[in-house]
Amino acid sequence: MKRVRYFAGAALLLLFPSTFAAGTNAPPRTAVPTVTNAPLTWVEVKAEEMDQRGLQPTGKELLAEEGAKWRHAQTPHFVMHFAASEGTNFAWKVAVQSEFFYRYISQELGGAEDHYPCRSHIFTFRNETRWKKFLKTVPDVSKWSYSFAQGLCMFLQQGENAKRQSDVLAHEMTHLMVNHFIVGHPPLWLNEGVAEYYGEFGLSEFRGLKRHPGSVFKSGGLREPMTLERLFAIEKYPGDEKEVFKLYATSKYFVGFLMIKKPHEKFPGFLVDMSNGMPALEALQKHYDFPDLATAQKEFTRFYH
């Protein structure tokens, strides 16, 4: 039998209690966005009753494992999968934040429409041993991964604390939402830059806070950045951890530069064209009127120095 539960957005206090504590140095608060105040519909279903259309091969294999005991719950845009022995608490928290990000990213991308008439699937892992065992079965994912998105599926390990947990979910949820709202595949640097940017500001919105761009993109805050020429040429993650950090940091700052210093409404079109294979310089010329890469580099350098 299906079990239907409704959770009000006020329960965010339970998810991030420290966020609402008085006497912190957090930015000024604003009202929590309306989307988080709407009740969350949580319907527990049997495996044969759930929306299976968005399942990827990795997810299907997980559900089919011998001895696997998964429970399933559906929200408006997601199917949550969680171990029967781990309870609903973590999966529900993930669902609350995920539903917010679905609406937030759509709005940020100019009211983008979902290209898939099905729910995404989120598999949660509260046990580190289970997570590491699972990673061994996914050869194309780094063993240091804390979570990852694959098509319309996301696989998420519970963080060691609430902040780490919500940061990781915000980043990976952005990847998942880009897969829903954008046709094509953004290049690596743009995919990570968008996830870092929206993960930062979307999470603040979710917590009911307003982050000033200056508090995130500080002068001198980007150390040892990659050049744009190098950034745009990267097709796979570097093997060196330091280079991976440079990739993420430079990508985040460049997306921030385009969002803050250029008309915000131009970014969705830029993202769509880049996701459909347009070269970076051509897309920058089309949407932001940069005559050449050197000019873009000069303005970007001025932004982060």
Same structural domain for residues 38 and 145? yes
Is 30 within a domain? yes
Per-residue pLDDT of the chain (305 residues; tens, 9 = 90+): 444 444 333 233 233 333 323 332 333 323 333 444 467 899 999 999 999 999 999 999 999 987 789 999 999 999 999 999 998 999 999 999 999 999 999 999 988 889 988 999 999 999 889 999 999 999 888 777 888 998 899 999 987 777 777 888 899 999 999 999 999 999 999 999 999 999 999 999 998 888 888 889 988 889 899 999 999 999 999 989 899 999 999 999 999 999 999 999 999 999 999 999 999 999 999 999 999 999 999 999 999 99
Same structural domain for residues 249 and 156? no
Same structural domain for residues 70 and 4? yes
β-strand pairing of 120-125 with 147-150: unpaired
Same structural domain for residues 83 and 151? yes
Same structural domain for residues 171 and 70? yes
* pLDDT for position 24: 28
Is 192 within a domain? no
Same structural domain for residues 38 and 133? yes
* pLDDT for position 220: 85
Residue 212: CB atoms within 10 A of its CB come to 10
DSSP state, residue 40? E
Same structural domain for residues 244 and 137? no
Same structural domain for residues 236 and 118? no
Count of domains for the chain? 2
Q: Judge contact between 145 and 69, C-beta under 8 A.
A: no
257: left (phi over 0), alpha (psi -120 to 50) or beta: alpha
Q: 241: exposed, middle or buried (C-beta count within 10 Å: 0-12, 13-18, 19+)?
A: exposed
β-strand pairing of 78-83 with 120-125: parallel
Residue 227: CB atoms within 10 A of its CB come to 13
Q: Which residue has the tokens 């608060």?
A: 29
* pLDDT for position 68: 81
CATH assignment of the domain containing 178: 3.40.30.160
Q: 3: exposed, middle or buried (C-beta count within 10 Å: 0-12, 13-18, 19+)?
A: exposed
* pLDDT for position 81: 97
Q: Find the DSSP H helices in 112-187.
A: 128-135, 162-181
Domain stops at, among 185, 201, 222: 185
Q: 126: exposed, middle or buried (C-beta count within 10 Å: 0-12, 13-18, 19+)?
A: middle
Q: Judge contact between 220 and 305, C-beta under 8 A.
A: yes
Is 201 within a domain? no
Cα–Cα dist 35/143, whole Å: 35
Fill in the amino acid letter for 28.
P
Same structural domain for residues 105 and 167? yes
Is 190 within a domain? no
Is 199 within a domain? no
Residue 42: phi and psi, rounded to 5, are: -125, 110
Same structural domain for residues 5 and 120? yes
Is 194 within a domain? no
* pLDDT for position 248: 96
Cα–Cα dist 248/264, whole Å: 21
Q: Find the DSSP H helices in 16-88.
A: 34-37, 57-64
* pLDDT for position 209: 87
Residue 240: phi and psi, rounded to 5, are: -90, 130
Q: Judge contact between 303 and 255, C-beta under 8 A.
A: no
Structural domain harbouring 265:
212-305
β-strand pairing of 40-45 with 70-74: antiparallel
Same structural domain for residues 99 and 150? yes
Buried b (16+ CB within 10 A) or exposed e, 40-50: bebbbbeeeeb
Is 219 within a domain? yes
* pLDDT for position 239: 87
Q: Judge contact between 251 and 205, C-beta under 8 A.
A: no
42: left (phi over 0), alpha (psi -120 to 50) or beta: beta
Q: Judge contact between 147 and 169, C-beta under 8 A.
A: yes
Is 204 within a domain? no
Same structural domain for residues 166 and 102? yes
